[in-house]
Structure 1
């Protein structure tokens, strides 16, 4: 009879329902007062009975009066023959009593009919207002007639509808809100069948909301959105009867209301076609950029190799061993940078270098180019990737220190070992190059080009530089793996 609230368990709605119940009780009391005498009779029959009684009383009274006059006229007939005026008077009296009796009976009938019609009209106004409330028009009002006996009932109904309109969301208003949603909404029962769908869902599936009612939810998707237990979000494809398929993101939640059926779910499907298209466009763009970056690294590596080959050809025409050594050192530096670009070209991650694998290849190149079979090597490196901005200077540092050890730490064929270690822990990397050669004599002066390069590259890494000359030479570089922090 009354509009339903979205949350009927709220205090305002409980108060509204109490007022509605009070109004119904008042209506029942009005009917009960009229029904005390004849509990099995309707109000219409009671009014007809009263009117019939009044009409019957008028007829009986008129009949008695007419019969009395007739008896008087019959009994006084011998005397009335000598008084014709008195006989005419009694005759007119009989007609007058009959006419008055008929008029009273007709008036009672007309009054009864008018009473029924007017009372029915008053009740019809109240019934129309209650019907409007039942269909969702919670702001329905009854025009109050100050002379109407049902005025208090009409005022109570107006107060109730005012309270309902202020504290209750009507069904039509709620349906309008649901139909204005851009997302697809389905109310699904415990058996997985659609109980209600909004306008967006009906339009997307090409069917009316009433046609969707009772259908299985999984019939409209490539996979059952309710297959996984519990609440959450699943991605699937909407499969309408007519029209293209579209990817959607379906979120599910239990409908928790006092009058909700156990297991009822609310499923909201959001069209993610545009997002998928944007992701695909971004993925293709990234792939194109990765291909371009790999091509750049490949060309840089080739250019560096060309430069190294030019230096090698130039060094063949040099007669001075010292100058030839300078050419060789420069080639090693170029080779260390070319190795990084070669690894970047071959790896999946174009922003980071697997530094342990890079060190392995770098040491192979250095030991092979210097032909130092009498010198051993060890490598201990953590699997810690470095960014390109850190890998290049760190690689050049290793190149300088290892080259210095191979050229100066083991003179005259002396055997020994060059050890390279790389460890990273808690945001700090520690790079160490050690040899067990002749110590400080193999390090070279502080003004040498190699040491100047190492110190400059250490500053570029925002690190620290330290040396230990006990039992050979040990150089340690410590730098943060995330310098921006």
Structure 2
């Protein structure tokens, strides 16, 4: 049955003329289409919203409203006709700077067959403009944050280079060692900012990739080509602050091994990071000379281990050490 030939006035409590008057005067944009996309009814509000004039009855909707020769791919009328269900779609009118939220409902004949759809539109232009503005501001914020991280990284790299140059020109071995330690700490922070600048998601740091790059930099600083390392890190990501703390802890413990554990520049360092229930466990161990068994981690003599202890406290964690054919540090935190 064709919707155009159906009698829209066959209503028990309302006359056709009154129905037409109410439909036309409602402020909500509305329209009725038949199965061939032809306009059966369109009220003044819909015509005014998209700046249409004249008698549009019988015209193809996509010709008149969208200016196309065929229906749009996302046309909710097609979905309603195919599935006999209500559909809602956001429709943009670029030339009018207009967004409409269009809902289509099926219309049936007396035998229950679908013969068209009833359209109701809601102007969501202000909402979409607000969303676009927020997206634009977010993109600007991300750009500024990336630029900030890029500049911080460059400054830290410059600082690392200055420390390295100073170490080269320093004859005092203890002073040179302190300069190299500071260079590694600057590198640990620079790598974080480099990743924040490079990756799309700069709220999380992939610990596996970060620690691998950090280890390469540490070994390069101490020029220990015969020392190998093995990294076994679960694919977890941490926020920037926590990732930096973990990086600095690894930096201090590995630097300590490279300086004191391997007298012949040969050895192996293992770094493990795993999750057990709601606890993370970081393990840093080497097969070199062991540290003194009577070391007090809560009040160590070493400046590097003092830093480690302070960093572990920032994680609200705990640190333990075992001495058995090498040194085995374990850090646990929630």
Give TM-score scaled by structure 1 length.
0.57
Residue from 180, 183, 186 that aligns with 2:31: 186
Residue deviations 1:356-398 (CA, integer Å, cap 9, x gap): 1111110101111112223211112233222111111111011
Alpha-carbon contact 2:31-2:46 (below 8 Å) kept:
yes
1:149 is matched with none
1:435 Cα deviation from its structure 2 partner: 1.3
Residue from 410, 413, 423 that aligns with 2:274: 423
Residue deviations 1:310-337 (CA, integer Å, cap 9, x gap): 3334434543312221121111111111
What is the rounded CA distance, in whole Å, between the counterparts of 2:253 and 2:62 in structure 1? 67
1:234 is matched with 89
Task: Spell out the pairing of 1:122-141 with structure 2 (5 A cutoff).
Answer: 134=15
Give 5+ residue unaligned stretches, structure 1: 14-132, 137-169, 481-485
1:201 Cα deviation from its structure 2 partner: 1.0
What is the rounded CA distance, in whole Å, between the counterparts of 2:210 and 2:304 in structure 1? 21
Task: Tell me the number of residue pairs that the alignment of Structure 1 and Structure 2 aligns.
Answer: 312
1:442 Cα deviation from its structure 2 partner: 8.8
1:212 is matched with 56
Task: Spell out the pairing of 1:2-401 with structure 2 (5 A cutoff).
Answer: 134=15, 171=19, 174-175=22-23, 179-181=26-28, 184-208=29-53, 211-219=55-63, 220-221=65-66, 223=72, 224-228=75-79, 229-230=82-83, 231-238=86-93, 244=96, 246-255=98-107, 262-401=114-253
CA distance 1:337–1:443, change in 2 (3 Å): farther
Residue deviations 1:40-87 (CA, integer Å, cap 9, x gap): xxxxxxxxxxxxxxxxxxxxxxxxxxxxxxxxxxxxxxxxxxxxxxxx
Helix, strand or coil at the partner of 1:274: helix
Q: Cα RMSD between the aligned structures?
A: 3.2
Structure 2 residue 319 is matched with structure 1 residue 465: yes
Alpha-carbon contact 1:409-1:442 (below 8 Å) kept:
no
What is the rounded CA distance, in whole Å, between the counterparts of 1:426 and 1:281 in structure 2? 42
What is the rounded CA distance, in whole Å, between the counterparts of 2:140 and 2:251 in structure 1? 34
Alpha-carbon contact 2:32-2:118 (below 8 Å) kept:
yes
What is the rounded CA distance, in whole Å, between the counterparts of 1:328 and 1:415 in structure 2? 20
Larger CA deviation: 421-430 vs 253-262: 253-262
What is the rounded CA distance, in whole Å, between the counterparts of 1:308 and 1:245 in structure 2? 53
2:4 is matched with none
Give 5+ residue unaligned stretches, structure 2: 1-8
CA distance 1:399–1:405, change in 2 (3 Å): same
Helix, strand or coil at the partner of 2:122: strand
What is the rounded CA distance, in whole Å, between the counterparts of 1:402 and 1:313 in structure 2? 22
Alpha-carbon contact 2:77-2:117 (below 8 Å) kept:
no
Alpha-carbon contact 1:193-1:215 (below 8 Å) kept:
yes
Residue deviations 1:254-280 (CA, integer Å, cap 9, x gap): 347979863432222333433343333
1:414 Cα deviation from its structure 2 partner: 6.0
CA distance 1:215–1:400, change in 2 (3 Å): same
Give TM-score scaled by structure 2 length.
0.79
Alpha-carbon contact 2:271-2:285 (below 8 Å) kept:
yes
2:286 is matched with 435
Alpha-carbon contact 2:195-2:202 (below 8 Å) kept:
no
Higher strand share: 2
2:6 is matched with none
What is the rounded CA distance, in whole Å, between the counterparts of 1:453 and 1:250 in structure 2? 62
What is the rounded CA distance, in whole Å, between the counterparts of 1:252 and 1:135 in structure 2? 22
What is the rounded CA distance, in whole Å, between the counterparts of 2:256 and 2:34 in structure 1? 78
